Amino acid sequence: MTQIAGKTAFITGGGSGVGLGQAKALLKAGARVAIADIRQDHLDAAVAHFAAEGVAVHAVRLDITDRTAYAAAADEVEAALGPVHLLFNTAGVSHFGPLQQATAEDWQWQIDVNLNGVINGIQTFLPRMLATGEGCHIINTASMSAFVALPGTGIYCTTKMAVRGLSECLSMDLKDTRVGVSMLCPGAVNSNIHEALLTRPAHLRNTGYYEPTPEMMAHLKSVIEHGMEPERLAGYVLKAVEADELYILPYPEFRTTLEEIHDRVMAALAKPEDDPEYEMRISKGVPGGKQD
């Protein structure tokens, strides 16, 4: 994938926040854009914004956990805009608290959206992308939580570390195709991800964590309101897509933490000279990483 202009993009969570920032950047870069969102009010506001700017987007309401609905949305967008070249698996949710307080519903909701939603996007669009024979790209939004575990983020962190593994493996599997893969790992973004609590399905409302009271929502917003602006974050994404880069990590404040994590991992990893069976495993072709 070497260019954005003239391509068709499909963005989940595109009605607001990070997804809306991506839509703005893509339109400025000359792409055709479809935005999908579970909230009709966000879609309506986004369409009105772009209409005022003199540009158009194709909006489709979509619950990304519904694979049948996902396929129908893909059909609709392709009929309107042509084959999709850029898939932005952006939609995500969060609800934080100690793992010992989590309910089964807390787990299911975040896994359904943050992981299964990404899988549904890939399962829906990847065969279509491969069939075009054209340059395409899949952008999965993970989080710095894909690398950094923090207290109270256990469920969210589990889903985002899974998206990291998925993205890295997908990139390897597709290396000989014309479909590239990137993984965006945001830190704080001035978005409205906290409002995802308002769209949590009724059958999954049983929670061991906080409720979306006005006071709590105001607190959650205060935590992220000084984060990176979505459109600026999108600029890093578009550059990475055009450069075919896997990792998109535009938050230098995590550098020291990541170095400390990797140092602890390497300190814990056994050395070849300390393992008498090492040479035997290598000679027998036992699966492992690249050898020194």
Residues forming the active site: 156
In terms of Cα–Cα distance, which of 121, 108, 105, 118 is closest to 146?
Answer: 118
User: Quick one: tokens of 78?
Assistant: 């392709």
Residue type, 180: G
181 forms beta bridges with 138
b/e burial code for range 164-196 (CB count within 10 A of at least 16 → b): bebbeebbeebeeeebbbbbbbbbebbbbbbbb
Burial class (CB in 10 A: 0-12, 13-18, 19+), 130: middle
